[in-house]
Amino acid sequence: MNSKQKFLHIFKLAQKKYSKSKKRLAGEGWKHDWQTLITTIYSAQSRDETTIPVMTNAFRSLPTLSSWSKAPLSKIKSLTKKINYYKTKSKNSKATAQMLIKNFNGKVPNTIEDLVTLPGVGRKTANLILTEIHKKPGITVDTHVHRISNILGLVRTKTPHETELTLQKLVPKKYWSKINRIFVLWGKDVPGRDKKRFLAKLKD
């Protein structure tokens, strides 16, 4: 079994296990594209179970991109203070909202190159936005995707960016946008780095 076949075999087992899950991730289910982007900025190194209710409440208070961009930074911080690193993320989110209005006519960009110019947006967030909002192929590599891919020997990489590039060569494009949700749900289900536990979970 070559590397591509190995990935597809494992991924299809994981997909069968987790594709019917109703669990919502932080980058899913928002009414407006800008809300998806802002929430994804906040979701880094923060549990979805914390991020989603905090951001739901924050968007009730600041329901438009304009209101978010004009809000005092102190108010944004107050609304999001339960999220890890909220001070930096609040600063970035306000600056991003302002840049969306100034540079992109209030629209969320649809290329990696434009997205990574926004404060707080790296390749992981940019890829998630491409797949979630713009329905373009992209591999969103967060800690779960990076961890699982290495534990199972699908890749041998040191950084999420290296994992993304390796998976791009390995995985047919039609699967790219599906990897993150499936592997995140799997990773939440199995902490640690025990290969046997990961594979055993697919047989439950």
Q: Which of 124, 169, 178, 203 is catalytic?
A: 124
Q: Return the C-alpha torsion angle 120, 30, 164, 152, nearest 10.
A: 120
3-state secondary structure of 175: helix
- Can you spell out the DSSP letters for 123-137? HHHHHHHHHHTS---
Print burial letters for 26-55: b (CB count within 10 Å at least 16), e (below 16). Answer: bbeebeebbbbbbbbbbbbebebeebbebb
Amino acid letter, 31 = K
Based on the residue annotation, tell me whether 89 is a catalytic residue of this protein.
no
The residues assigned a catalytic role are 124
